[in-house]
Amino acid sequence: MPVILKLYIRLVDGFNRRVGRFVMYGIFVMMAILLWSSFSKTFMTPSMWTLEMAQFAMVTYYILGGPYSVQMGSNVRMDLFYGEWTLRQRAMVDAMTVFFLIFYLAILIHGAVGSSAYALGHFGVEPYSFYRDLVWAFLTGGKEAANEVLGYIERSPTAWRPVLWPIKLIMLLGFILMLLQAVSELLKDIARIRGVDY
């Protein structure tokens, strides 16, 4: 296998592993938020931010943790036939069917790009050029110029009214990492077909 591909696998797997091992402690963040929520509800005025904060924590937890769960092999497969195959046969089928996954992730990413642009105030149908303009404005004119490009910032329709772009960007990042991981799995399968152990 070319060195560059080996490097890709090492980088992507290593990075996703670290991200996953970091967000895995998010379970305690969720617990803390919910504990505070019940505490404040019982003894003080209920906090407004806990419900949505817990939801944001959960989304971060499972989306950024996704690639690591793929590495751990936690994602169930229907093993009616799969379970009977040899490792090589599995790698061959996986190397083809992983494109279903890649297609699905690509559509998810496309949706996330559009929705994040909407959250930043772009209501048109050209989210990619919106980002290009945004980055270009920031590079040439600094923060103020970038502010010009931004439109009405989307907020959640609740009492707390948090802005929604951070969580949408986290989701976008998670889907991209998942896509990188899927490609890494594909490369590993190709290596296995060629008899290299991975």
Partner 1 sequence: MSYEMIAILMFSTMMLMLMTGQRVFGAIGFVGVLAAVFLWGTGGSDIGFSAAMKLMKWYPLLTLPMFIFMGYVLSESKIADDLYKMFHVWMGPVRGGLAIGTILLMVLISAMNGLSVAGMAIGATIALPELLKRGYDKRMVTGVIQAGSSLGILVPPSVVLVLYAMIARQPVGQLWLAGVFPGLMMAAMFILYVVIRCRIQPELGPALPEADRDISREEKMKLLRAGLLPIVIFATMMVPFVNGWTSLVESSAIGAITAFVAAVVKGRMTREVFENSVRSTLGISCMFMWIILAALGFGAVFDGLGAVKAIDDLFTEQLGLDPWMILILMQLSFILMGTFLDDTAMLVIVAPLYVPLVKVLGFDLIWYGVLYTITTQIAYMTPPFGYNLFLMRAMAPSEVTLKDIYRSIVPFVAVMILALTLVMIFPQIALWLPNYVYGK
Distance CA 42, CA 25 (A): 26
Among 5, 98, 146, 193, binds partner 1 (CB under 8 A): 98
Structure tokens at 40: 């404040």
Q: Closer to partner 1 at the Cβ: 28 or 152?
A: 28
Q: Is 48 in the site for partner 1 (CB under 8 A)?
A: no
How far is residue 38's CA from residue 79's CA, in Å, rounded to a whole number?
42
Q: Which residue in the block uniquely carries the two structure tokens 């980002």?
A: 131
123 binds partner 1 (CB under 8 A): no
Phi-psi region of 140 (alpha: psi -120 to 50; beta: other; left: phi over 0): alpha
Q: Which stretch binds partner 1 (CB under 8 A): 11-19, 21-29, 128-136, 137-145?
A: 21-29
> Minimal distance in Å, beta carbon 100 to partner 1?
4
Token pair 């005025």: residue:
45
Q: What is the 3-state secondary structure (H, E, C) of 16-33?
A: HHHHHHHHCCHHHHHHHH
Instruction: Name 155's bridge partners.
Output: 163
Nearer to partner 1, 41 or 194 (CB): 41
- Name which of 123 and 148 has its Cβ closer to partner 1: 123
Structure tokens at 19: 């991200």
Residues that bind partner 1 (CB under 8 A): 20, 23-25, 27, 30-31, 34-35, 37-38, 41-42, 51, 54-56, 58-59, 61-63, 65-66, 68-70, 72, 74-83, 85, 90, 93-94, 96-98, 100-101, 103-104, 107-108, 110-112, 114-115, 125, 167, 171
